Amino acid sequence: MLVSGFSIASKADDYSGIKKSISTILPGKKVDVISPSPVDGVYEVVVGARLLYFSENGQFMLDGDLFDITERKDLSAPVRENARAKVVTDAVAKGGITYKTKDEPKYKVTVFTDIDCGYCRKLHNDMDGYLNHGIEVSYLFMPRAGLQSNSFRKAVSAVCADDPNKALTELKNGKTVADKSCDNKIADQYNLAREIGIRGTPGIITEEGKIFPGYLPPDTLLQRLKK
């Protein structure tokens, strides 16, 4: 989608035109990276997990994918995946629940989960299989019924428990845990899932920022991660 309509003076050294356009289109959002794209006069702009393309003066914006026809390559995918990996890693550090491998992990994945989702429970019941394969699993929450749902309340109780890992496992097994509340990042995680394109649960994100939608058994996930 090509958007025009910003007549803004730009300074090549600080990309002021691009930054002003971003503040208009996405108020309150921080620009993470501005760099030249493979197309002359067009710049890649990363805002969180979002990738946009701008003319140098900020007047024109392209929201879409950039392809190299000769090489038959999607040039946007690696940039978008890197941005996705960064925001997901940051979210895990701020409020995720991680199940660690006994030894140094070979791989790390983040799973957007809903406590009441059947395939999410199936994935959690296979946790020993993932860990035995050297796959460290971190959870972020995407309660599909929304932020006023029972699934959201259960997620809050899990992250606020004295032992979040144990509480989450009990909830995944259909047990009840004590209702607790605390400062948490679940609403942010829910919004992040929508921002990066998670449409259902479980949604698996690799360290490289690739999305594997749906449940994958331990052996299958291991093979996918090896590729």
| pLDDT tens-digit series, residues 119-149 | 999 999 999 999 999 999 999 999 999 999 9
CA 136/CA 39 separation, integer angstroms:
39
Q: Which residue has the tokens 């992250």?
A: 159
pLDDT higher than threshold 50 for residue 1:
no
pLDDT higher than threshold 90 for residue 8:
no
Average of per-residue pLDDT values in the chain: 92
pLDDT higher than threshold 70 for residue 95:
yes
- pTM for this prediction: 0.86
How confident is the model at residue 3, as a pLDDT? 46
Mean pLDDT of 51-80: 94
* Residues recognised as catalytic: 114, 117, 120, 144
Q: Are 142 and 94 in contact (CB under 8 A)?
A: no
pLDDT higher than threshold 70 for residue 21:
yes
Q: Are 98 and 138 in contact (CB under 8 A)?
A: yes
How confident is the model at residue 4, as a pLDDT? 44
- Residue 32's φ and ψ, nearest 5 degrees, are -90, -45
How confident is the model at residue 14, as a pLDDT? 81
How many C-beta atoms lie closer than 10 Å to residue 59's C-beta? 17
CA 36/CA 61 separation, integer angstroms:
14
Q: Which helix (H) or strand (E) holds 36?
A: strand 33-36
Q: What is the DSSP letter of 29?
A: P
CA 141/CA 124 separation, integer angstroms:
13
Give the list of residues 6+ apart from residue 154 with CB closer than 8 angstroms, or none: 115, 116, 171, 177
CA 5/CA 168 separation, integer angstroms:
49
| % of the chain at pLDDT higher than 70 | 94
How confident is the model at residue 6, as a pLDDT? 42
